[in-house]
C-alpha cells in the first residue's frame, strides 16, 4: 500500500510540473510565433542532481539475516545531448546521462564483518521533443521517448580489497521530461530540465533535474 501511495504521489508531482509550465506560458508569456526559423542541429550539456531511488530492501530482499548500514543513492549528475530541430515546435534528441555511484555501506550477512557494495549507472535516451515558443526568448518543452538504463558490475570492498561481480544489467524503459529554454541569441540558449526514467525489473526509476547550456548551429 505504501508503494502504491508513493508511485501515485510521484505521478502527481510530474503532472503538477507540466501543468505549471503550461500555465506560466499561457498566462505570463503568451504564445508568439517565431519568424525565419530554419531546421538546425544543437548540442548541450547539463549539470544537476539525480536520485536513483535504490533502498536497503533492494539488496536485502526482505532477508532477516542481511543488514545494510546506509545507502547513498543520489548526488551530482550530468547529461550530454544532441538534437535536431525540424521546426520551431518539434525536435528529436539523443542524450547520455551519467549518474552518481550507488553505494550500500556496511553490508553484513549473519553478523559477518561489514562489506561495502557499489555500482555505477548511466542512461542513453532517444526522445521526441515538443516545444512551445513564448515571449522574451523563452520556450517551454516536453519530451517523451525510450531509454536504455545500464548498470555496471557490482563492486565489493572490505579490508582494502575490492572484487567485482559479473553482474552488469541493462533494460529499455520509457522516459518523460519537461523544461524551459531561454535564448541569449540565435545560437546560445540555457535550459532548466527535468527527466524521469521509469524503473523495470531489477533497475529502479531515476529522476534527474539539471541546468545547462546549449549551442544551436
What residues does 48 pair with on adjacent strands?
77, 210
Range of the domain at 42: 2-216
Residue 38: give its domain's CATH number. 2.40.160.20
For residues 156 and 128, which has the higher predicted lDDT (pLDDT)?
Answer: 128
Cα–Cα distance between 140 and 130 in angstroms, integer? Answer: 8
Give the total number of structural domains in the chain: 1
Using one digit for the tens of pLDDT, what is the confidence trace for 9-30?
Answer: 444 545 555 454 444 444 444 4
pLDDT at 36: 57
For residues 32 and 94, which has the higher predicted lDDT (pLDDT)?
Answer: 94
Task: Measure the N-to-C terminal CA separation of the chain; round to a whole number of Å.
Answer: 50
Candidate from 13-22, 76-85, 190-199 with smallest mean pLDDT:
13-22
Using alpha carbons, select from 195, 208, 101 the residue that is nearest to residue 146: 195
Distances in Å between the alpha carbon of 29 and those of 16, 37, 39, 59, 186? 19, 20, 24, 48, 19
pLDDT at 117 over 90: no
Q: What percent of the chain has pLDDT over 70?
A: 81
Using one digit for the tens of pLDDT, what is the confidence trace for 42-79?
Answer: 999 999 999 999 988 888 777 777 888 888 999 999 99
pLDDT at 114: 75
Amino acid at each position: 500500500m505504501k508503494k502504491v501511495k508513493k508511485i501515485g504521489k510521484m505521478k502527481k508531482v510530474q503532472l503538477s510540473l507540466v501543468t505549471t509550465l503550461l500555465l506560466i506560458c499561457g498566462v505570463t508569456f503568451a504564445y508568439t510565433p517565431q519568424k525565419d526559423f530554419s531546421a538546425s542541429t544543437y548540442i548541450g550539456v547539463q549539470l544537476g542532481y539525480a536520485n536513483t531511488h535504490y533502498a536497503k530492501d533492494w539488496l536485502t530482499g526482505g532477508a532477516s539475516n542481511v543488514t545494510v548500514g546506509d545507502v547513498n543513492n543520489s548526488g551530482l549528475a550530468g547529461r550530454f545531448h544532441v538534437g535536431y530541430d525540424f521546426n520551431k515546435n518539434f525536435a528529436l534528441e539523443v542524450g547520455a546521462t551519467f549518474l552518481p555511484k550507488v553505494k550500500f555501506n556496511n553490508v553484513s550477512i549473519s553478523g559477518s564483518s561489514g562489506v561495502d557494495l557499489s555500482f555505477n549507472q548511466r542512461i542513453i535516451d532517444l526522445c521526441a521533443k515538443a516545444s512551445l515558443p513564448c515571449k522574451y526568448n523563452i520556450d517551454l518543452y516536453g519530451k517523451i521517448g525510450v531509454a536504455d538504463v545500464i548498470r555496471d558490475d557490482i563492486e565489493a570492498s572490505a579490508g582494502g580489497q575490492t572484487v567485482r561481480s559479473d553482474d552488469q544489467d541493462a533494460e529499455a524503459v520509457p522516459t518523460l521530461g519537461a523544461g524551459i529554454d531561454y535564448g541569449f541569441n540565435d545560437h546560445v540558449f540555457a535550459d532548466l530540465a527535468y527527466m524521469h526514467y521509469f524503473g523495470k525489473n531489477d533497475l529502479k526509476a531515476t529522476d534527474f533535474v539539471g541546468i545547462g547550456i546549449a549551442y544551436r548551429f
